[in-house]
Amino acid sequence: MNRVIKVVIAGAAGRMGREVVRAICRAEDMELVGAVDVVMAGQDAGTAAGIGEVGIAICTDLAEVLDKTAPDVMVDFTVAKAAEANIKMAISRKVRFVVGTTGMSASTMESIMNEAAQAGVGGAVVPNFALGAVLMMRFAREASRYFPDCEIVELHHDGKVDFPSGTAKATAHEVASGRGDAVSRRGLDGGIRGVEVEGVPIHSVRLPGLVAHQEVIFGGPGQTLTVRHDSLGRDSFMPGVLLAVRKVSQLDHVVLGLDPLLE
């Protein structure tokens, strides 16, 4: 009999959190054992997610939930400030983690990586769980070998507070790696046209009606090449979230992005 992975969700009442509740509850090899959020406290997590009662009430105290349920994996979809504390709380209890929260600083990530390494706790910090987005980044890296000039346009719903998106920054890293440099090519000032990440200009759009979209536009003499990915609903991220939960439950180190888990 296959082992069932016990999961706690931080940010369970949010838009992504509710989607994760639905996905975890439908996965035969996973069990939702805890749900945490600062809103909807006391409400059943399944009711909040629109699937009916699942017998797990939303709590506000993550430490208490982790201690009481002893989960295998914590999934975090909160905000950057809360995510840092949540991840370190999980590490201190030897709980592996899957994080979709973006906007954490480089110094925060370094601190998390160091603490996880010292504790021997595995985890995954993933800017985009859509499998198509992972392939988009792979294709962009390959294209950058032949089209070194490119710009990224990322478009998200108006509730996304961080910019550029984690996916856009990860894509810029892949482009810079593919072309073998990270030299600034445009000298953007960060105020008019966008910002630069590793020498790649990124433009951020935040509008109602959008979910998560990105295009990488490459230009060369007499031609352009566009690599684009569109998430039309949050359910597009769930296969990647479930994959990460399954893979992370066997890791003793932290990976960045979904790509390493696809190997």
Domain boundaries, the chain: 5-125+235-262, 131-232
Domains 5-125+235-262 and 131-232 are alike in CATH topology: no
DSSP lists the bridge partners of residue 153 as 203, 215
Q: Distance (Å, rounded) from C-alpha 126 to C-alpha 104?
A: 12
Instruction: Supply the CATH classification number for the domain 5-125+235-262.
Output: 3.40.50.720
DSSP letters for 113-173: HHHHHHHT--EEE-S---HHHHHHHHHHHHHHTT---EEEEEEE-TT---SS-HHHHHHHH
What was the pLDDT predicted at 193? 55
Q: Read out DSSP for 174-209?
A: HHHHHHT----SS---SSSS-EEETTEEEEEEE-TT
Identify which of 254, 243, 261, 257 has the alpha carbon closest to the alpha carbon of residue 126. 257
The pTM of this model reads 0.82
Q: What pLDDT is recorded for position 127?
A: 84
Compute the Cα dihedral for 126, 128, 131, 135 and give only its sign. negative
Alpha-carbon gap, residue 202 to 28, rounded angstroms:
40
CA 232 to chain centre: 16
Is residue 160 annotated as part of the catalytic site, yes or no?
yes
Which residues contact residue 161 at a Cβ distance below 8 angstroms, ignoring those fewer than 6 apart? 79, 103
**Angle, CA 153 vertex, CA 185 and CA 144 arms, to 5°:** 50
pLDDT confidence of residue 182: 52
Which of 86, 85, 84 is closest to 71 using CA atoms? 86
Cα atoms found within 13 Å of the Cα of residue 133, Cβ hemisphere only? 26
Which of 156, 169, 173, 203 does the annotation list as catalytic? 156
Q: According to the model, what pLDDT value does residue 184 have? A: 47
Q: Cis (ω within 30 of 0) for the bond into 239?
A: no
What is the pLDDT tens value at each position of the chain, 263 positions in all?
468 999 999 999 999 999 999 999 999 999 999 999 999 999 999 999 999 999 999 999 999 999 999 999 999 999 988 999 999 999 999 999 999 988 888 899 999 999 999 999 999 999 889 999 999 999 999 999 999 999 999 999 998 888 898 899 989 999 999 998 755 454 444 444 578 999 999 999 999 999 999 999 999 999 999 999 999 988 899 999 999 999 998 899 999 989 899 87
Cα angle at 147 between 141 and 151, to 5 degrees? 75
Q: Environment class of residue 67 by beta-carbon count within 10 Å: exposed (0-12), middle (13-18) or buried (19+)?
A: exposed
Residue written as token pair 């790696």: 177
Active site residue 156: yes
For domain 131-232, the CATH class is: alpha beta
